[in-house]
Structure formats: C-alpha cells, structure tokens
Structure 1
Amino acid sequence: MNDNNDKVYISDKPMTENQILDAAAEILACKYVRKDAFTSSQATKDFLRFKLANKEHEIFAVMLLDNQHQMIDFVELFRGTIDASAVYPREVVKTVLLENAAAVILTHNHPSGLNSPSIADKDITKRLQEALALIDVRVLDHIIIGEGTYSFAENGLL
C-alpha cells in the first residue's frame, strides 16, 4: 500500500475480509490518526474498529503514542478466548518501554458484540494506569470494540 498523493495500491490477488479491514485501518492510520495526532476521536475509534471488530477471539492491544500523541505503533499483546483475555501489566510496561512511548490508548474487543465494560475491564484498566504512571506514561483511553465502541475517557472512567 502506498499513501502518496492519496492513491492506494492493493494487489490484484483475492483478499480476505480481514486483509481488507487491515488495509482500511492502515489507510485511516496514515491519513488521519498519525497526521492529526488523535484530534479526531472518531478516526481513532474507526481505526480500532477496523483492526479488532472481526476477530473471533478477544484481543487486547495497545496504541503506543509519542509526546505529540502521534502513533508509534499498534501492538496486539494478548489473545484470549471468545469472552476473556488475560492481561499482564508487566508485559504492557515492557512493550511501552521498548517503543519509548509517552502515552497509550488501551483497547480490546468483545466478540460477543457487547461494548460495555465488565468489572474485570475496569480493574485491569486501573492496574495498568497505576503501573504506567510509575514510569510517567499516560493512559489516554481504553476503548472497547463490540458492535459499537465504548470509551472509558468519554464515560468518565479515566
């Protein structure tokens, strides 16, 4: 794929639905998310929806951001079952330090389609916030992807 002059090149080989969604997420990342440094929360949610909505298992991922809140990388850290994923703060901290991120947006999907946070979702968000605060990294949001999206920040949980 090439984002020069707003042209996109995709091979002439058949693509799976997930490959198409990954390509759409990359277009959003190049066009909106990286350039606008997350001034558009809707572009961020769209990017995450394209990345995670069609996954059959729960995936916990992190968007690693620099000081200007531009994306350094999107990393899928943990893969779980159809309704749960174990998340280890130590591994999140290691990934953040490795990429030298200044802030993060946490995200995971709910394959069931429900996008409201569980008690476990709230607990791990708090634990990650505390762990990352020790190394001066801000958690800007935790976005759950279901049939819709749920933002912890927009709902006053961060």
Structure 2
Amino acid sequence: MDHSFATAWDAGLVLASRRKWWRIAAEIEDQMLRPTVPTRAQNKRGRSAKPVLKATGPGQIWSLDISDVYSPWRKIVFKVYSVMDILSRQIVGWRVEDREADHLAVDMFEAAIAEHGAPHTVHADSGAAMRSHLLRDALTV
C-alpha cells in the first residue's frame, strides 16, 4: 500500500492522504486475507498482565525515573535521576549527572533511604541502570 501511495505521489497524483489509502485498502476483502506479520508484541508467551501498584500510605511505593535534560550548549545532555513517592508525589531523592550509571542510582537510593526510610516497592521502567544487578542487590537488603 505504501508503494502505491508513493508511486502516485511521485507521479503528481494526490488523491488522498496516506492514512486514507490504508483505510480504503482495509475495506477491500482481498487485503484482509493477507497474513499478518508477527511483531515484537506478538511473542509466543502472549501478553503479560500490566502490574498494578496501589499505595495506601506514604513511603510504600517509590518510582524511579532517569530523564534527559538538554543544556544550552550543543550536544551536551544531562541525566536527571529522580525518585518520587507515588502517593504524596514528593521527590524523595534526586541528582543530576552527565551520564547514566547504575552506581549513581544506588548512591541516590542509599541517601534517600537514609533520610526517608526504605519503601516496600520500587517501580521503574526498563532502563539499563534500573535493571542492573547492582541496583537490584542494593534494594534487596
């Protein structure tokens, strides 16, 4: 379908948007008989259930995030590490670094736990520093 759209576009014939071409193709019965191409989401294990975390009090669940902050200088990016209590939305730990590293996250957590106490659960996405064995071992004490 993309090839047909691009060919018509190159010829100077613009009948509809690319999305409209796909909608028309979806209505054609022959298009529906085409095999589906497996993607990452269609793995053999099936979909896993989304984790649901619910805090009933402060200090139970913390959320870790590492975000990029762009500097006014070209090609210089800082990493902002932050840990938030998900019930109170209070930032319990943070730091700004020039790189993402698991030992920096461990140092931040050690300082946050010393000040606020250890949480029951820590939630994070699948970043490299967040999946590291060093951080996991430091939080599983």
- Shorter-chain TM-score above 0.5: no
Higher helix share goes to which structure? Answer: 1
TM-score by length of structure 1 reads: 0.32
Larger Rg belongs to: 2
TM-score by length of structure 2 reads: 0.35
